[in-house]
Structure 1
Amino acid sequence: MSSDASLKKDMMAETPESLSPPLSTTASNELTPEEAARAFKPTVAFYLAMTTLALLTFIVALDATALAVALPNISEEIHGTGLEAFWAGTAFMLCCAVFQPVIGSFSTIFGRKYLLTGAVLFFLAGCIGCALAKNFNTILICRAIQGAGGGGIVVMTEIVVCDMIPLRLRGEWFGLLSGMYAVGTVLGPIIGGAFAQHVTWRWIFWINLPFIGVAIVMVPICINLKVASTSFLAKIKKIDYIGATIFIGSATGFMMGISWGGVQYAWSSWHTIVPIIVGVAGFVAFYFYEDKIAADPVVPTSIFKNRNITAAYIQTVIHSLIVLSLVYYLPLYYEGVKGFNTTITGVAVFPETFTVAPAAVVIGIVIGKVGSFRWAVWSGWLISILGLGILYLMDVHTTTVQWVFLNLVAGIGTGFLYPALQFSIQSACKDEDLASAVSMYSFFRAVGQTLGVAVGGVILQNQLAVKISAYPALAPMAKRYSQDATALAHLLRDMADSQDRRDLVQAYADSLKVVWIVMCGLAGLGFIISLLIKDYPLDRFVPAVQAVEGEKDKVGDEEVPVAVVEKKAETVAI
């Protein structure tokens, strides 16, 4: 091996921090990283593309949570069983999660635009199928198709943004996408409940069609990314079939076990334990296969060997777990404790809905301006700890003004963390591994969402049994009341005033307090893990493998083709 090759190998082993020399040392005729980033000029096509991606992100997040509250109406109309309703709600999240890393890997082989367009078409097919469904079998199949398409949309959106925008300038755009995802997630149950109650549950799916129609037109026009010029046969040969199969099987088993634990089967049942154990064992086998055997791995294991990335993934799971617990269980406070109907409950969650998105956008912009992100991660966790802690103060007699202000803090803290955690990952990984790193971020976010519903549900169910049993008159009914927290909230809302109702409402409020305390503790754990991350610089600039076609940068008045920029960038980050 030549000395130059040895030097390059040594430099590749260095951390991204060491690959960014001071800007002042760069030759005058070269693009410095900062100059390259500043030369990025959004065009009309870019703004149209980002608008389309933001709308797609919103409708996917909306659909992920909208159906759950409408399932009783659907079961009544098409005569479904509880088991069928459960799987109709689970199929979307399951398929959304397990296919994301595989779709990200395929996009590197076949091209981003084609995979994103395919994902949109899958999502469209699932929406139409569900809207026209006459039985639960059709809904189950179409929700699975819709989930696979939705997962593809989410992961491809984030990868495409990385392809189009320099690292330092991604903050505001990832803040926008994260905000849209958060708003869709929070509004999903409210919109789904409103449609089911006042119109028809089928509108949960029909409402997506105008947005999808716009996306089908705009994606091919506005997202013009380079694709590797190799034959189709060569691309087929690059697919890691074994790795993809192991990952999908392992993720499916793990997510299924988590999803039906405490719902379809007890957590102690072998039906729950075995899939989780098999899934974890499969993940271990997947890691060793990708690390030791796979020629073109679905997920390069190098991303897990980076402390920043691994710590950020763990924080992503915790963050998503907390957000979904807020999304699912705060509305139960308003319905079960305050007695609000579905519409008023939708208004009541506005303190979270309309603080998460602005906080995400603002913090993304600020990160880009100051060129560092670790402070935002730490601030996000500390504010979240405070916000979740003060939710403990929400009680039966909390006034409207009080609960509005109590809810603002948690929304701001969780909003901070969306772009901050993405920067933790993207700034630390090698440029050639960026698509895989982003795909795994989306996957771990979905895992956290699934855990959020499960963990929050277990805590609330157990605490309801304990708190209700403390009242002698209600003790005989404690087990039955605690089995379904959502049904109990609706029962309390419609129940006539009596001492038993007042005791049940107090027990419900006290049980939710325990949920918030556990979430506060998890936020504390997230903060402790965040102390492990390093503040990598955001001025690295290496054009993406699938950069925008015809993209050019300027030095003064001279236009420099992409190929020249790539060559110059190699002198900065080999």
Structure 2
Amino acid sequence: MGTDRTEELQIEEKGIKPVDSNNNQAAPLSNVPRGYTDQSRELPRKELGLVFFGLSLVLFMASLDQTIVSVLIPTLGKAFNAPQYIAWVGTSYLLTNTAMQPLYGKLSDIFGRKVAILAAIFFFLLGSLICGAAPTITVLVVGRGIAGVGAGGMISLTMIIISDIVSLRERGKYQGIIGSMFGISAVVGPLLGGVFAEKSSWRWAFYINLPIGVISTIAIFFVLRLPKVVGTRREKLGRIDFLGSFTIVVGIICVLLSTNWGGNEYPWNSVQVIVPYCVGALFLITFLFIEAKVAVEPIVPFRLFRNQSICATYATSFFIGGAFMGAIFFCPLYFQLVMHESATKAGLQLLPLVGGMLVAGIGNGILISKTGRYRPYIWGALVIYVAGAALLSLWDEKSGLDVQIGFLFIVGLGLGGSMQSVV
């Protein structure tokens, strides 16, 4: 990208124009290519506040669910007296969550953002309700799978809707606040998980999603107003890439199953691990062929990858996501296994990380909105994160509280300043 002005961020397709940051009105679209729908509509400030509140709750709920359940895995194994099957609680959620993520964006193009995110919330809450009332480990695993179907769309659709209702120039501020939900849930999740495990019932880890989901659903259902997608139901169904959807879902599930089984239930060189990998690779290659040569409206339009800025952004987002998950999993393990802290206290120990994410995420968003420049802030944040990760590697059983707080705050600055800035 030859310049780093946010006004020039756009999909380089004929007829697709960015939001005009000067008058905060969406620029008119003409000759929109097949497969695109213009659902952008900037909301009045009061309505925007209510919708933004609802979307923040959606993102918080989806990210909280992952962190709170991870702490309760040992407790669930004891509650159902089935430790040999407890890994499937996480596996079923991961499989459906990951498999559904590529589909929700396209479904929202066809049926509308509002319908898509309300459907995602419904499946997530239904799965949470089933998990909370589960009488057996089998029901719990099924419930987690259903919750994963919903969670797969909640995070991505939140980002998509924000881009529809906020001008490009102002988007940095709002996405900075939205991104802080990840950090907050990283602390609140282990903390609540520890409280439920030690002081209450594990079932509340799932029931807690219900009131949050109801509030967010009300805010989105009654306040979010976006242009309707034109076309009959039959025409909309005809636009769905069923073959591509099937191949990518099967491919992802096979690859994740092998990865989950390898070294745990079966040796890495066993037939049970190698065969699903091969089958998954075959389906994913078939998916790429379908997207490139067969699908009329592909889930993954290959034309996007002709833009080097988009490719760089995808790659950066991938590595930042891996860095975030690495920090979130490493730190609680360090506090519990090395420093012998309880699950509740280990959650509290992550507060400096959240503080850094809040400061950098919101601060970078404001700076991007004010200056129209984004690349220097991304570069700076990535350098800070690399330094913070290197410092975390110096932790040992003798590391003091001041070292722990300082290093975590640095990591938080790097993550908070890069995650949403890249989006």
Q: Which residue of 1 aligns with 2:346?
A: 345
Q: Tell me the alpha carbon deviations over residues 482-539 of structure 1, each in whole angstroms, 9 at most, x when there is no partner.
A: xxxxxxxxxxxxxxxxxxxxxxxxxxxxxxxxxxxxxxxxxxxxxxxxxxxxxxxxxx
- CA apart distance, 1:232: 0.8
Change (3 A) 1:233 1:372: same
Please show how residues 106-505 of structure 1 align to structure 2 within 5 Å. 106-422=107-423
- CA apart distance, 1:74: 1.6
Query: In the aligned structure 2, how far is the partner of 1:224 from the partner of 1:51?
Result: 15
Q: Which residue of 1 aligns with 2:78?
A: 76
- CA apart distance, 1:80: 1.8
Query: In the aligned structure 1, how far is the partner of 2:273 from the partner of 2:411?
Result: 32
Q: Tell me the alpha carbon deviations over residues 52-73 of structure 1, each in whole angstroms, 9 at most, x when there is no partner.
A: 1101101110111221221222
User: If the length of structure 1 is used for normalisation, what is the TM-score?
Assistant: 0.66
What one-letter code is carried by the residue in structure 2 that aligns with 1:164?
I
Asked if 1:57 corresponds to 2:44, the answer is no
Q: Which residue of 1 aligns with 2:37?
A: none
Q: In the alignment, is the contact (CA less than 8 A) between 1:287 and 1:301 conserved in 2?
A: no
SS in 1 for 2:24: helix
- CA apart distance, 1:256: 2.3
Change (3 A) 1:164 1:397: same
What one-letter code is carried by the residue in structure 2 that aligns with 1:358?
V
Q: In the alignment, is the contact (CA less than 8 A) between 2:127 and 2:147 conserved in 1?
A: yes
Selected match of 1:36 from 18, 23, 32: 23
Query: In the aligned structure 2, how far is the partner of 1:190 from the partner of 1:276?
Result: 36
User: If the length of structure 2 is used for normalisation, what is the TM-score?
Assistant: 0.88
Asked if 1:89 corresponds to 2:90, the answer is yes
Query: In the aligned structure 1, how far is the partner of 2:98 from the partner of 2:19?
Result: 38
Q: In the alignment, is the contact (CA less than 8 A) between 2:4 and 2:375 conserved in 1?
A: no
What one-letter code is carried by the residue in structure 2 that aligns with 1:381?
L
The alignment of Structure 1 onto Structure 2 pairs a total of residues equal to: 399
Q: Tell me the alpha carbon deviations over residues 298-326 of structure 1, each in whole angstroms, 9 at most, x when there is no partner.
A: 22111223222222222222212221121
Query: In the aligned structure 2, how far is the partner of 1:332 from the partner of 1:231?
Result: 52
- CA apart distance, 1:356: 1.5
Q: In the alignment, is the contact (CA less than 8 A) between 2:19 and 2:25 conserved in 1?
A: no
- CA apart distance, 1:89: 1.3
Q: In the alignment, is the contact (CA less than 8 A) between 1:126 and 1:143 conserved in 2?
A: yes
Q: In the alignment, is the contact (CA less than 8 A) between 1:64 and 1:93 conserved in 2?
A: no
- CA apart distance, 1:32: 9.3
Query: Alpha carbon RMSD of aligned pairs, Å?
Result: 2.4
Change (3 A) 1:71 1:221: same
Q: In the alignment, is the contact (CA less than 8 A) between 1:178 and 1:360 conserved in 2?
A: yes
What one-letter code is carried by the residue in structure 1 that aligns with 2:414?
G
Change (3 A) 1:96 1:200: same
Query: In the aligned structure 2, how far is the partner of 1:204 from the partner of 1:118?
Result: 22
What one-letter code is carried by the residue in structure 1 that aligns with 2:215?
V
Query: In the aligned structure 1, how far is the partner of 2:338 from the partner of 2:186?
Result: 22
Change (3 A) 1:164 1:353: same
Q: In the alignment, is the contact (CA less than 8 A) between 1:64 and 1:92 conserved in 2?
A: no
Change (3 A) 1:32 1:229: closer
- CA apart distance, 1:38: 7.6
**Unpaired runs of 5+ in structure 2?**
9-17, 27-41
Which structure's CA Rg is the greater one? Answer: 1
SS in 1 for 2:382: helix
Query: In the aligned structure 2, how far is the partner of 1:240 from the partner of 1:267?
Result: 34
What one-letter code is carried by the residue in structure 2 that aligns with 1:278?
V
**Unpaired runs of 5+ in structure 1?**
1-13, 22-30, 423-574
Q: Which residue of 2 aligns with 1:103?
A: 104
Q: In the alignment, is the contact (CA less than 8 A) between 2:5 and 2:373 conserved in 1?
A: no
Q: In the alignment, is the contact (CA less than 8 A) between 1:80 and 1:135 conserved in 2?
A: no
Query: In the aligned structure 2, how far is the partner of 1:417 from the partner of 1:367?
Result: 12
What one-letter code is carried by the residue in structure 2 that aligns with 1:58?
F
SS in 1 for 2:22: helix
Asked if 1:45 corresponds to 2:32, the answer is no
SS in 2 for 1:168: coil
- CA apart distance, 1:50: 0.4
Change (3 A) 1:311 1:258: farther
Q: Tell me the alpha carbon deviations over residues 253-306 of structure 1, each in whole angstroms, 9 at most, x when there is no partner.
A: 222223333333333434334433433443332222111111111221112232
Q: Tell me the alpha carbon deviations over residues 190-224 of structure 1, each in whole angstroms, 9 at most, x when there is no partner.
A: 32232112211101011111111112222111111
Q: In the alignment, is the contact (CA less than 8 A) between 1:359 and 1:416 conserved in 2?
A: yes
Query: In the aligned structure 2, how far is the partner of 1:383 from the partner of 1:281?
Result: 40
Q: Which residue of 1 aligns with 2:29?
A: none
Q: Which residue of 1 aligns with 2:38?
A: none
Q: In the alignment, is the contact (CA less than 8 A) between 1:52 and 1:214 conserved in 2?
A: yes
- CA apart distance, 1:18: 12
Change (3 A) 1:187 1:284: farther
Identity, in percent, stands at 28
What one-letter code is carried by the residue in structure 1 that aligns with 2:177?
L
Q: In the alignment, is the contact (CA less than 8 A) between 1:247 and 1:283 conserved in 2?
A: yes
